[in-house]
Structures are given as C-alpha cells and as structure tokens.
Amino acid sequence: MRIVVVGASGTIGRAVVAELGQRHEIVEVGRNSGKVRFDATDPASIRAGLELVGTFDAIVATFGSVKFAPLAEMDAAGYGIGLADKLMGQVNLVLIGREFIADGGSFTLTSGILSRDPVAGGSSASMVNGALEAWVQAAAIELPRGLRINCVCPGLLEETAVSFGAFFPGHVPVSSARVAKAYAKSVEGRLTGRVFEVF
C-alpha cells in the first residue's frame, strides 16, 4: 500500500512510519518536515499538499495541538487552538482526502486517553478527543466507495512522560511502538468506525 503519514516527525508518527514502513510505501508529511509539507489548519494547504502526493491507499493523522491550562484560565481563544488544529485539521484531512484516496482506502485519526479519563488542565484535549471519536463513528456509516475510518486513542507515551507526566498523575505510560500496532490494525485490517484504545 501507499500510506500517507501526516505528523510523521512526531513521536507517534515516527513509530507508525517504523511499523508500517516495513511492509508499505510511506509518504511522510509534516508542517515543517517530510517529503510533502502542508499546514493541516489550512484546507487550501491540505489540498495543495495532497495534490503533490497523488493517489494513496491510506492516510494516518498523528498530529494535533491543544492548550493545557486550568479551566479558570481557558477562554474561547484557548479552546480554539484545539478546535482548529487537532479537531478540524484531522476532519479536513478526511474531507479533502476523499478526493485522492483509492477505493477501499482507509483513514486513521488520533484522539487520546483524555476523552474518557480527564485530568485537571486538560479540558480542551478531552473535548477535542471526544469530538474526534464521535465524528469517526458517525462518518464511518456514510463514507462511499468502501472507504474506512478509525481512530487510535493512545495513553500517555513513555517517550513523552518526562515532559507531560505532571498533567497525567497516576497514568501508566505506554510505548509508542505498542501504540503503532493499533495504527497497523486500522490500516491493514478491515474494521471501520472503531476507536482503538492503547492504555
């Protein structure tokens, strides 16, 4: 398969490239690095980037920024970061990607454990992750041409626990290599409308 990995230079992205790259052609995409570059917060940029990529069999989104801050300090602009980047960035990737993906292809998006196990300061991440998971399940029943869509919901990563662990008290980290197996299950399997949890 020809698989586009958006966010390929990130911790999860690198693990997905390592896992799927053993068996498939990978097109690495990023905002500032990769074979193709585009800004996922800008639909025109997504379209221009996917036009460069051409036809593909699967697209994996492993990107998304949100603001971590106490609820008392959050405002519309703070929530807007996650809505524009992680939520609509991934949604627009699917909406535009439908025009380029081969029949029977798949989309795999990324949410996160805070959709079901919230922490103080993580209300934006919880909101966006929950919205992504609900949207994936709804979109799956309407995609044409045998297209599939799933979402991977990883826990706190071992590789980033030093930087983000203070936000996740009591959480047990998981390796990015283990998380990458869930992306392989989504891409190489036949399931659709699923949320694959890796905690």
Sequence-ordered list of residues with C-beta below 8 angstroms from that of 190, at least 6 positions apart, any chain: 148
Please state the domain count of the chain: 1
Contact in structure between 85 and 125 (CB atoms under 8 Å): no
Q: Which two tokens stand for residue 56?
A: 């593909």
11-20 helix and 176-188 helix, angle to the nearest 10 degrees? 50
| Count, residues in the chain | 199
pLDDT score for 25: 98
pLDDT score for 23: 98
What is the residue type of 11? T
User: 171-194 b/e with 16+ CB inside 10 Å = b?
Assistant: bebbebeebbbbbbbbbeeeebeb
Q: Which two tokens stand for residue 148?
A: 């599939």
Contact in structure between 18 and 10 (CB atoms under 8 Å): no
According to DSSP, the residues that pair with 110 across neighbouring strands are: 152
pLDDT in tens, the chain (199 residues): 999 999 999 999 999 999 999 999 999 999 999 999 999 999 999 999 999 999 999 999 999 999 999 999 999 999 999 999 999 999 999 999 999 999 999 999 999 999 999 999 999 999 999 999 999 999 999 999 999 999 999 999 999 999 988 889 999 999 999 999 999 999 999 999 999 999 9
E strands present in 62-177: 101-110, 148-154
Q: What is the CATH number of the domain that holds 156?
A: 3.40.50.720
Sequence-ordered list of residues with C-beta below 8 angstroms from that of 81, at least 6 positions apart, any chain: 65, 66, 67, 124
The range of the structural domain enclosing residue 76 comes to 2-198
